[in-house]
Amino acid sequence: MSAVANPATVEECLRMGAGFSQGDRNWITEQFGTLDARLASFHADATELEISVKDREARGQKVTLECWIGGREKIVTTSSEEDLHAAVMDVRDDLRRRLNDSKTKQEPRHNRHLRDVAQPEPGDLTV
């Protein structure tokens, strides 16, 4: 598989939504750095991430991370962790899992079960 010409990165694709300021961007980008390896197979211009928080620092706060990748369904992860840092880690880890699951479904060559099924030889096709 060839490398994507302009790979998506958290730095390039992350937007701050409601409840977060540009001042929060640096520490969130640092925490989300582990997503870069997962995002690298997608084009930066077709990938968007947005993190938002409702009722920040309140008892019922809710952090939401949305991910749009061209040609795929939007992925939304949420966390109700009371600690903001823990909630941010929670949505990051959930997004990484969901991206891994999505990639497995989209690319059966990485699915061992499908790979082990015998494929017909080119001369075996009958009309």
pLDDT at 33: 94
pLDDT one-digit tens code per residue, 64-112? 999 999 988 999 999 999 999 999 999 999 999 999 887 776 655 555 5
Q: Residue 43: is its pLDDT beyond 90? A: yes
* Sheet containing 75-79: order of strands: 14-16, 47-54, 62-69, 75-79
Q: Does domain 10-104 have CATH number 1.10.3720.10?
A: no
pLDDT at 57: 83
Distance of alpha carbon 60 from alpha carbon 106, whole angstroms = 36
Kindly provide the residue ranges of all beta strands, DSSP E only, lying in 11-73, ordered along the sequence: 14-16, 47-54, 62-69
Distance of alpha carbon 126 from alpha carbon 122, whole angstroms = 10
pLDDT at 112: 53
Distance of alpha carbon 56 from alpha carbon 66, whole angstroms = 17
Tell me what the pLDDT averaged over the chain comes to: 86
